[in-house]
């Protein structure tokens, strides 16, 4: 202690953290407030029960022998009903428990701890749904006792235009989707991308989004600047403006013969192991045929008090409707440590 007076150093030296509130900015800097690319680009609607059902229908192939004699009677029957498919609902939750004292305390960055915790956990819940949609999960019915219902996610639906590994798909016998089986990790190739878009187009889809992890989007962008890329040369006119020139170092739109794809990086999309390598999927999406369904939307309920605390339960009862899996493509087992190649 100073011999002249009691100063701030003396207060800070008191055991258990001192007596002075340290110079901490009264704000929380959050870098996890990121968008939900998949949720934001697909439709949404309500459900009336825990198992959603819809029909998938396709037009017959053109009949190039379609000709009849003038005045002839109508024969045959070209009526078609398509096939009936379904998906399970999944309940995702978060729980908040805050003591009376914690809620009343003067905390850094928020006025009330309970309100802050509810807001943050609601954000996490939405992020959970986004990540689940793009993970490899088969549908599972809820048995009401020991097995929680699970949504059949996007990778478990796509089978017609699935590249690499063993595709899953919808099983008409069980009424459930099947998780895909990872194969050997490979590099993303230009041929794969073009083949995937062409396959969607041939099946009647018009994909507009290429969604994958940020690292793979970067590999695609970097490749499209190389001499190996079979795309138009990137250039800019010089000397025609007094404005400062802008250095272009990325590509976010890939124009193919069968549609224009917007490259969408998704930081919430999960990786997995394929032949002991960290890999991820590339989704080619026609968002017209995707929809999130809600039996009960995002809500917060009070739980019974069991002591000196406030308890809240946040939940969402949701499912994923894949109108037709033929409108989408998936290139799986992409090793994002490998550079993109031509073929």
Distance between CA atoms of 322 and 86, rounded to whole angstroms? 9
Residue 303 pLDDT more than 50?
A: yes
Task: Give the count of beta carbons closer than 10 Å to the beta carbon of residue 272.
Answer: 16
Distance between CA atoms of 160 and 198, rounded to whole angstroms? 12
- Positive or negative: CA dihedral 82, 174, 283, 32: positive
Q: Is residue 72 part of a domain?
A: no
Token couple for 68: 């009849």
Q: Is residue 23 part of a domain?
A: no
Residue 37 pLDDT more than 50?
A: yes
Which of helix, strand or coil describes residue 139? coil
Distance between CA atoms of 268 and 131, rounded to whole angstroms? 5
Q: Is residue 17 part of a domain?
A: no
pLDDT tens-digit map of 77-118: 776 667 899 999 999 999 998 888 777 765 554 557 888 888
Please provide the average confidence, as pLDDT, over all residues in the chain: 85
Q: How many CA atoms lie within 13 A of 279 on its CB side?
A: 23
Give the per-residue pLDDT at 13.
67
Among 162, 151, 155, 161, CA closest to 179: 155
Q: Is residue 76 part of a domain?
A: no
Residue 54 pLDDT more than 80?
A: yes
Distance between CA atoms of 216 and 281, rounded to whole angstroms? 9
Per mean pLDDT, which range of 209-223, 285-299, 302-316 is the poorest?
302-316
Question: Who wins on pLDDT, 236 or 63?
Answer: 63
Give the per-residue pLDDT at 17.
57
Distance between CA atoms of 177 and 138, rounded to whole angstroms? 5
The full DSSP string for 316-334 is: EEEEEEES-GGG-EEEEEE
Reported as a pLDDT band with limits 50, 70 and 90, residue 276 is: very high
Cα angle 322-285-121, degrees, rounded to a multiple of 5: 70
Q: Is residue 270 part of a domain?
A: yes
Q: How many DSSP H helices and E strands does the chain contain?
A: 7, 15
The full DSSP string for 9-25 is: HHHHTSTTT-SSPP---
Residue 319 pLDDT more than 80?
A: yes
Give the per-residue pLDDT at 19.
47
Q: Is residue 340 part of a domain?
A: no
pLDDT tens-digit map of 146-197: 999 999 999 999 999 999 999 999 999 999 999 999 999 999 999 999 999 9
Reported as a pLDDT band with limits 50, 70 and 90, residue 226 is: confident
Distance between CA atoms of 39 and 333, rounded to whole angstroms? 23
Q: What is the arithmetic mean of pLDDT over 66-86?
A: 80
Give the per-residue pLDDT at 24.
47
Tracing tokens 């290429």 back to the chain, one arrives at: 210
Q: What is the arithmetic mean of pLDDT over 277-299?
A: 96
Report yes or no: 290 and 42 within 8 Å, Cβ to Cβ.
yes
Token couple for 172: 């008409």
Which of helix, strand or coil describes residue 162? strand
Give the per-residue pLDDT at 241.
55
Report yes or no: 176 and 87 within 8 Å, Cβ to Cβ.
no
The whole domain housing 155 covers 32-54+84-231+249-335
Which stretches within 181-325 are classed as H helix? 190-202, 214-223
Domain count, the chain: 1
Task: State the CATH number of the domain containing residue 297.
Answer: 3.90.1690
Task: Give the count of beta carbons closer than 10 Å to the beta carbon of residue 78.
Answer: 6
Give the per-residue pLDDT at 227.
67
Query: Model pTM?
Result: 0.83
Q: What is the arithmetic mean of pLDDT over 316-327?
A: 96
């Amino acid at each position: 202690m100073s011999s002249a007076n009691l100063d701030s150093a003396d207060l800070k030296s008191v055991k258990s953290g001192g007596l002075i509130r340290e110079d901490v900015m009264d704000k929380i800097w959050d870098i996890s407030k990121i968008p939900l690319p998949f949720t934001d680009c697909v439709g949404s609607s309500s459900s009336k029960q825990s198992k959603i059902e819809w029909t998938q229908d396709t037009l017959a192939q053109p009949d190039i022998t379609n000709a009849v004699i003038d005045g002839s009677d109508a024969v045959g029957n070209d009526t078609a009903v398509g096939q009936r498919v379904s998906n399970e609902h999944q309940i995702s939750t978060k729980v908040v428990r805050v003591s009376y004292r914690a809620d009343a305390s003067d905390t850094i960055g928020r006025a009330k701890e309970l309100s802050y915790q509810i807001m943050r956990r609601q954000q996490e819940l939405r992020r959970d749904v986004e990540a689940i949609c793009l993970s490899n999960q088969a549908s599972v019915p809820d048995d009401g006792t020991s097995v929680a219902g699970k949504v059949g996610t996007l990778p478990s639906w796509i089978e017609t235009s699935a590249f690499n590994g063993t595709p899953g798909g919808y099983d008409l016998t069980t009424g459930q989707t099947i998780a895909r089986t990872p194969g050997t990790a490979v590099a993303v190739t230009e041929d794969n991308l073009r083949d995937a878009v062409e396959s969607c187009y041939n099946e009647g889809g018009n994909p507009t989004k290429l969604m994958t992890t940020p690292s793979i989007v970067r590999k695609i962008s970097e490749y499209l600047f190389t001499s190996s890329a079979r795309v138009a040369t990137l250039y800019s006119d010089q000397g025609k403006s007094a404005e400062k020139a802008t250095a272009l170092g990325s590509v976010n739109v890939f124009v193919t013969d069968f549609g224009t794809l917007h490259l969408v990086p998704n930081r919430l999309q999960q990786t997995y192991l394929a032949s002991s390598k960290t890999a991820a999927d590339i989704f080619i999406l026609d968002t017209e045929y995707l929809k999130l369904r809600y039996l009960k939307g995002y809500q917060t309920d009070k739980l019974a008090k069991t002591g000196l605390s406030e308890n809240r339960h946040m939940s969402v009862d949701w499912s994923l409707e894949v109108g037709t899996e033929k409108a989408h493509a998936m290139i799986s087992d992409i090793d994002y440590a490998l550079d993109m190649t031509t073929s």
